[in-house]
Amino acid sequence: IEGPMLYSKEAAPESWPWVLAGQVEDFPHNGGVAVKHGKEEVAVFHLPGQVDEDGRWLCVQNLCPHKQVRAISRGLVGVRPDGQITLADPVYKSIYDLRTGSGMSHANLNLSTFQVKVDEQGQVLVKLPPADQMADSFARQSREAADKKDFKPPPRGSHPDIQVPRAPKNGVNLEW
């Protein structure tokens, strides 16, 4: 799905709730975890070695904008010499700026970003839109991208370009 990200942590409305993602100890150091939010998922990353507070906990959509695979949380996190935190998609190897969600290897592929905080009880909280709103927004974005490319999924059952011979059984034609 090409184009701008749907959500940006800088533009998150005050009305969005802080959603519990887990306890600090639930998150691996220098890695990510997928967190379910209704029908969607976000990827929360814990980078305790970061000097800047805004780089210790980061959250992006867990849905790969390239092929819509829910694998971003398993991506490879890196830090460039200039301090930029990067994330490589574990399947398609697209590279993103983990702080901003901006596509680096493909400028038109971007990840939505969300605010993260840790409270005094060690709970990791993510500021997210209501679950149904988030699901509807991602579904609409996917439909619009498919319409723009005139993508039509094959009919259910079998692909029209693949012919599978079906031999009659007891004189009954098995074609449907």
Bin 175: left if φ > 0, else alpha if -120 < ψ < 50, else beta.
beta
Query: How large a percentage of the chain has pLDDT more than 70?
Result: 87
* CA atoms 131, 20, 117, 25: torsion sign: negative
* Per-residue pLDDT band at 152 (split at 50, 70, 90): confident
Element (H, E) at 135: helix 131-148
* Per-residue pLDDT band at 171 (split at 50, 70, 90): low
pLDDT of 110 reads: 96
pLDDT of 174 reads: 57
